[in-house]
């Protein structure tokens, strides 16, 4: 059984869709049960594997979550990282963690999506010819073929 209900998965995908309506940036969520080692290093591997570093403006954001090990990380590509304040991703993680501590993973992820989306829309506003470069559904790493 998935960590998220079907309804929660839809809420998360819809939150990404809504956030991306205001930006040319791309947001993805990657979830697995276990993370051996550092969550940021693990997220970096998936960031590249999922093509997050291939967006045209280098403005992809990956939120990575290891549910059983209670670890998570946020990776932003160089386009967005060069523009946000140095503590932005830590501040975002703190907002998410408040929900996680209340055992509400879905709301925590949606909060992270909203904060990332706000910054992306500030620095990378949506353009008329914008194309959704990456899918919005959660990637369940443990379920990859």
Question: Could you report the per-residue pLDDT of 12-55, keeping only the tens digit for each?
Answer: 999 999 999 999 999 999 999 999 899 999 999 999 999 999 98
pLDDT of amino acid 128: 78
List of domains in the chain: 6-140 (3.10.310.50)
Its pTM stands at 0.93
The reported pLDDT for the residue numbered 37 is: 92
- For 103-134, the pLDDT digits (tens) are 999 999 999 999 999 999 999 998 877 777 77
Q: DSSP string of the chain?
A: --SS-HHHHHHHHHHHHHHHTTBS-EEEEEEES---S-HHHHHHHHHHHTTGGGSTTS-EEEEEEETTTTEEEEEE-HHHHTTS-TTHHHHHHHHHHHHHHTT-HHHHHHHHHHHHHHHHHHHSB--TT----S--SPEEGGG--
């Amino acid at each position: 059984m998935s960590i998220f209900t079907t309804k929660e998965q839809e809420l998360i995908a819809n939150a990404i869709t809504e956030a991306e309506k205001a930006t040319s940036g791309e947001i993805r969520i990657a979830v697995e049960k276990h993370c051996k080692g550092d969550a940021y290093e693990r997220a970096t591997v998936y960031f590249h594997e999922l093509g997050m570093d291939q967006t045209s403006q280098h403005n992809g954001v990956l939120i990575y979550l290891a549910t059983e090990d209670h670890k998570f990380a946020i990776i932003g590509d160089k386009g967005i990282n060069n523009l946000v304040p140095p503590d932005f991703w830590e501040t975002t993680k703190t907002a998410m963690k408040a929900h996680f501590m209340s055992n509400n993973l879905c709301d925590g992820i949606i909060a992270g999506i909203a904060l990332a989306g706000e910054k992306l829309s500030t620095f990378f506003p949506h353009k008329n010819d914008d194309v959704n470069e990456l899918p919005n559904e959660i990637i369940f790493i443990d379920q990859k073929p």
